Amino acid sequence: MAWQPQLIRSVDAAGNPVLSLGHTLVDDYLAFVAARCRPNTLLATAYDLKVFFSSIPKEPADVVTADIFAFITAQKAPRRGPKVIRLEDGEAGLSARTIKRRLASISGLFGYFATRDDLTIERNPVPTGLANRRRGERRGSPLLRTPRTLPRVLGSAEVEAVLDALNTRRDRAMVLAMLLGGLRRCEVLGLRLGDLSPGEHRVFISEGKGGHQRLIPISATFFTAVGDYLDQERPAVDHDHVFVVLRGPTRGRPLSADGLDEILDGVRKRTGLPRLTCHQLRHTCLTRLREAGMALEAVQAQAGHRSIESTRIYLHLANAWLVKQYLDASAAIDADRTNF
């Protein structure tokens, strides 16, 4: 009988997260990931593998490429009825990005197995792409095509509505960190008192994505909001996390990702912005910086992108910048025509 994966969470003696799915080999791989990746990456990997082995109830050694294609088909199946699709990509099942991430987790597992000389699993069943022929040339196409969609950004009126809907000074400071500094959710929650430099209007990001650190400027408006929160709301605690729980039995403990999501959920209901997310606040900040003329390399540094390709999307989002570039080029073309 095939094993049934169960995601079990615990912590080790050092307080680090430990995840288990109930299979010795898979749990060995999760321990391997835990030693090299951030907790969010570990959790995503464990969940992806749970979904896969729940859908394909086989021992890892018995998984073949046909099972991968069956898994892709199941993931692309309609979730809310065949007539309900997403406007951004026209799909009814999970997004291509989600499926692609899950395939990467599965491929990582079998790649790990293949490098171990004590196992008989030598082949990775996840194909890297699909071979095809065109005019005599052998080429490869991706297993899944991921549409490049532009993230939504907030307008000025929507930003004001969000700020007006916040209930506490703490919440205002956290939202401004994303709106004015472009911080990610995990970076906001990871801020410590020593990371703030009010005199220089700079913040040190010590827990960035992938463990990368950076020192970035943020508007004085953010530091004013943080000062109001620290002076009037933050309880006395024995740690240096900036943002903490203000009420209830966990008062004084560092605010969790679920806590911040709950705050945003309340803002969505009060503002009528059902798609509002922390990442949308970040996108809004970086788009406005690009529209104001900030160099693309500077936006990359502010955002903490490892590759400039991740930042190029703001070339498309910054409409005012694009319009100016087009008008300047069009004027030059028109002037050139008059010389004939």
Q: Which residues contact 330 (CB under 8 A, 6 or more apart)?
A: none
- Give catalytic status of residue 184 as yes or no: yes
Report the distance separating Cα 230 and Cα 225, nearest Å: 9
- Give catalytic status of residue 305 as yes or no: yes
Which residue among 172, 184, 185, 288 is the active-site one?
A: 184
Report the distance separating Cα 116 and Cα 103, nearest Å: 20
Tell me which residue has tokens 């082949």.
123
CB atoms within 10 A of CB 186: 17
Q: Are 110 and 129 in contact (CB under 8 A)?
A: no
Q: What are φ and ψ of residue 241, in 5° steps? A: -65, 135
Instruction: Report the SS3 class of residue 195.
Output: helix
Which residue among 152, 202, 209, 214 is the active-site one?
A: 209
- Give catalytic status of residue 192 as yes or no: no
- Give catalytic status of residue 314 as yes or no: yes
141 forms bridges with which residues in the sheet?
Answer: 130
Name which of 17, 16, 107, 39 is nearest 8 in CA terms.
Answer: 17
Which residue among 23, 172, 234, 282 is the active-site one?
A: 282
Which residue among 23, 50, 172, 305 is the active-site one?
A: 305
Which residue among 58, 279, 316, 324 is the active-site one?
A: 279
Helix, strand, coil proportions of the chain in percent (round to 5)?
A: 50, 10, 40
> Is 157 buried (19+), middle (13-18) or exposed (0-12) by CB count in 10 A?
exposed
HSE-up (13 A, CA, CB side) for residue 167: 12
Which pair of tokens denotes residue 250?
Answer: 């966990």
Length of the chain: 340
* Alpha helix (H) residue ranges in the chain: 24-34, 39-55, 65-75, 96-115, 156-164, 169-181, 185-189, 220-232, 257-271, 278-291, 296-303, 308-311, 313-317, 319-337
Q: Which residues are catalytic?
A: 184, 209, 279, 282, 305, 314
